[in-house]
Structure 1
Amino acid sequence: MAIRIAVGQFHELSQERLRFAAQIGATGIQMNNPTLPGDTRWEEADVRALVKEVEAAGLVFEAIENVPTHFYHKAMLGLEGRDEQIENYQQTIRAVARAGVPVLGYHFMPNSVWTTNRTAQTRGGALARQFDMSVVEAHADDLDTLRGFMPTTLGRASSMPLFGKDGPVITEEAMWSNYRYFIEAVLPVAEEEGLRLALHPDDPPVPMLGGVARLFYQPENFRRAYELAGQSPAWALDLCLGCCSEMPGGKAAVREMIDFFAPRGTIAYIHFRDVQGAVPNFTECFIGDGNYDPAEVIALLAKHRFDGFLLDDHVPKLDGDSDWNHRGRAHAIGYMQGLLRMADYCDLL
């Protein structure tokens, strides 16, 4: 199967989104944490209803990325009640697979993505997300401000762990133990159902935020996870190029991740975005303005015979754009389409 492009990163499926995908020339849909019934797990019938709606529009339902964090936060943190959450996650895996969705993306960040500035400026004054570790450090004991750096729903949730600079710490060793426990329980179910579990990198890729260690902030840690999974065919990556570009080394980290995992067939799909700078301070930008060369990345993926899909992700907000950034997404998708056409013309694909 050739490299293809999907439209995604939304919670609610609508005819407008489906028409946008068809009009922009995408072949598939991905949804991020879709709004579905269930406080602890999803059911096959509810997921299947989404799949049928996508297929009726002539599109492929490529993947679901993320369940609600409260579905498995105890598993991520090693808290009492994690076994019940893992059992429910196993049932969600079955529901997603049996409904006809081949990939379920997940992260292992209990307090999720952090952003210190949501209205930084990039090319032409377009608005973009920014992260600056010095801002986090300046507010190390101001938990209200720190919570504001998290996604709204998590920032308001008292169950999400967050500690000041002198508070308790959840260590990297503890998080590795929790990851092993989780993945050893869910991978066999995914294998049985023929579903791929696609791991998203940490964003921002730093060792710790708010007293909670992170695991997937450098290439060597992904290799460790790959080995922990016993090279299972169900273990895969949702390779966010933006997160990799945020890592120290920027372009070199992007290439290292592709060079190791693409030949092994473990990249399920790719968030095609980029940043300027790297941790501790970076700003998202338009494709082509960041740390790596997008054309070089496509050539590298073609060289390693990557056959997953590319996806729009975070995009700058252009003047007059919608809440979902239709204009920014149209630019990103068009850029990707041009890259793929040129690669095909040059017999790379």
Structure 2
Amino acid sequence: MMHVSVTVNTADLSDLDLRQMAQLGIDYVDFGNGQSFKGVKEQGFPDLDELLKLKKRVRSFGLDMNRVTLPNISRRFMEGEEGSEQELENSLNAVRVFGEAGIKIVRQRFEGDVFKGRGLSYEAIQRGGAIARGESIGLLKEKAETPGQEELQNWWSSFQRAYREIVPLAQDYDVKVAMHPSDTPHPDSPFGGIGLNRIIDDFPNKNVGFVYCIGTRAEAGGSSLVMDEINHFGRKGRIFLVHFRNVRGSLPTAGAFEEALLDDGDMNMFKILLELRKVGYDGCLNPDHVPTFAGDVADLHDSWKFSNIGWKASSLGFAYSVGYIKALLNALNEFEGR
């Protein structure tokens, strides 16, 4: 049975946040900012006692914690700078803490998995004036250079070095390590279609898989690519969380894309749901990158200023998206006679 989760970008959740989540019928909370947990600022990784308090509080509202994020691994580590090994040690300690707290999915961020300056973000005005994020590779006249093969291989070697320590430790604690695709998925990005396969080729471990972002992968090739990848990765049991969102256009077909409401993009989200069911997926569906409705507050992070990647109390966009997903899940059960 699939469930509904939402991403928060802070561990400091208010009663209003949690109460509204419960009222909307949300099941789980995903924590997208690994730096936000208490203890990270002081010691480099979360404090176990504080984490357990947070988990108990979330559970008191009928919710639970689903996916968390490890402390970031920066460019310093990826380029092998002196002293940067502490970043990996912090991630390893975080895996231990999350494992001891009984949290089952972690994500590790690696700086450099996205090629910045390859497309121009813009404000996409959609149905009724809703604001969404668009990106075009044609509108940007001066594009940043793509790293060369040697530079990319060195980056990948640093990624492998980190995963070689994170993965076995996660397995010891029965924790799954989930990678998000490169967003935006410009050609040759480390975690594009080839890179995602490379991860599971290099680490043939059932605890290694993906936060499979439907929207990001649709930006790379549309609904046919998404269906193929769900079938490919899903039947291998490597999809641990799904970012359930819709888009218009793709980089290969239109040279641009726009994020969209679930019922207003190119993809038929019910068909996506059927494919997830077919491969046996039973994790969470997360309405990621939600367009901004009139009266909503847009995300304050400059990289995502035209969409909302983190939950906000009283967000009409999130409420609409959660309700749409729950309706699809009910329709799926009726469709299958459950």
TM-score range, shorter chain: 0.7 to 0.9
Alpha-carbon distance change, 72 to 50 in structure 1, aligned in 2, over 3 angstroms: farther
1:221 paired to 2:195: yes
Task: Give me the whole-angstrom Cα distance separating, in 2, the residues matched to 1:180 and 1:339.
Answer: 38
Task: Give me the whole-angstrom Cα distance separating, in 1, the residues matched to 2:146 and 2:319.
Answer: 45
Aligned match of 2:323: 334
Aligned match of 1:174: 154
Alpha-carbon distance change, 278 to 167 in structure 1, aligned in 2, over 3 angstroms: closer
Alpha-carbon distance change, 189 to 108 in structure 1, aligned in 2, over 3 angstroms: same
Task: Give me the whole-angstrom Cα distance separating, in 2, the residues matched to 1:332 and 1:88.
Answer: 35
Aligned match of 2:231: 259
Task: Give me the whole-angstrom Cα distance separating, in 1, the residues matched to 2:53 and 2:122.
Answer: 34
Please tell me whether the aligned partners of residues 103 and 196 of structure 1 are also in contact (alpha carbons under 8 angstroms): yes
Task: Give me the whole-angstrom Cα distance separating, in 1, the residues matched to 2:88 and 2:71.
Answer: 13
Question: Which string of whole-angstrom CA distances, capped at 9 and with x for unpartnered residues, describes residues 138-187 of structure 1?
Answer: 244xxxxxxxxxxxxxxxxxxxxxxx649999732222212211111110
The TM-score with structure 1 as length reference comes to 0.83
Question: Which among 209, 224, 242 is matched to residue 236 of structure 1?
Answer: 209
Please tell me whether the aligned partners of residues 247 and 265 of structure 2 are also in contact (alpha carbons under 8 angstroms): yes
Please tell me whether the aligned partners of residues 246 and 261 of structure 2 are also in contact (alpha carbons under 8 angstroms): yes
Please tell me whether the aligned partners of residues 302 and 348 of structure 1 are also in contact (alpha carbons under 8 angstroms): no
Secondary structure of 1:275 counterpart: strand
Question: Which among 106, 128, 134 is matched to residue 130 of structure 1?
Answer: 134
Please tell me whether the aligned partners of residues 205 and 246 of structure 1 are also in contact (alpha carbons under 8 angstroms): yes
Aligned match of 1:59: 63
Task: Give me the whole-angstrom Cα distance separating, in 2, the residues matched to 1:167 and 1:98.
Answer: 39
Secondary structure of 1:110 counterpart: coil
The TM-score with structure 2 as length reference comes to 0.85
Secondary structure of 2:133 counterpart: strand
1:271 paired to 2:243: yes
Residue segments in structure 2 that go unaligned for 5+ positions in a row:
299-311
Please tell me whether the aligned partners of residues 47 and 97 of structure 2 are also in contact (alpha carbons under 8 angstroms): yes
Question: Which among 321, 337, 346 is matched to residue 296 of structure 2?
Answer: 321
Secondary structure of 1:291 counterpart: coil
Task: Give me the whole-angstrom Cα distance separating, in 2, the residues matched to 1:177 and 1:111.
Answer: 13
Please tell me whether the aligned partners of residues 219 and 249 of structure 2 are also in contact (alpha carbons under 8 angstroms): yes
Which amino acid counterpart does residue 123 of structure 1 have in structure 2? R
Alpha-carbon distance change, 167 to 203 in structure 1, aligned in 2, over 3 angstroms: closer
Task: Give me the whole-angstrom Cα distance separating, in 2, the residues matched to 1:7 and 1:304.
Answer: 23
1:17 paired to 2:17: yes
Offset of 1:43 from its aligned partner?
2.5
Aligned match of 2:303: none
Offset of 1:221 from its aligned partner?
2.3
Question: Which among 178, 185, 196 is matched to residue 205 of structure 1?
Answer: 185
Aligned match of 2:266: 291
Aligned match of 1:5: 4
Question: Which among 70, 86, 103 is matched to residue 105 of structure 2?
Answer: 103
Task: Give me the whole-angstrom Cα distance separating, in 1, the residues matched to 2:324 and 2:190.
Answer: 32
Percent identity over paired residues: 25
Aligned match of 2:257: 282
Aligned match of 2:306: none
Please tell me whether the aligned partners of residues 44 and 94 of structure 1 are also in contact (alpha carbons under 8 angstroms): no
Residue segments in structure 1 that go unaligned for 5+ positions in a row:
141-163, 209-213
Question: Which string of whole-angstrom CA distances, capped at 9 and with x for unpartnered residues, describes residues 258-307 of structure 1?
Answer: 01111121111100012111124111011122232101011111111101
Task: Give me the whole-angstrom Cα distance separating, in 1, the residues matched to 2:257 and 2:71.
Answer: 27
Alpha-carbon distance change, 344 to 117 in structure 1, aligned in 2, over 3 angstroms: same
Task: Give me the whole-angstrom Cα distance separating, in 1, the residues matched to 2:25 and 2:269.
Answer: 20
Aligned match of 1:84: 86
Task: Give me the whole-angstrom Cα distance separating, in 1, the residues matched to 2:51 and 2:26.
Answer: 21
Bigger shift: 305-314 or 94-103? 94-103
Root mean square deviation of aligned Cα: 2.4
Task: Give me the whole-angstrom Cα distance separating, in 2, the residues matched to 1:46 and 1:322.
Answer: 29
Secondary structure of 1:119 counterpart: strand
Offset of 1:318 from its aligned partner?
0.6
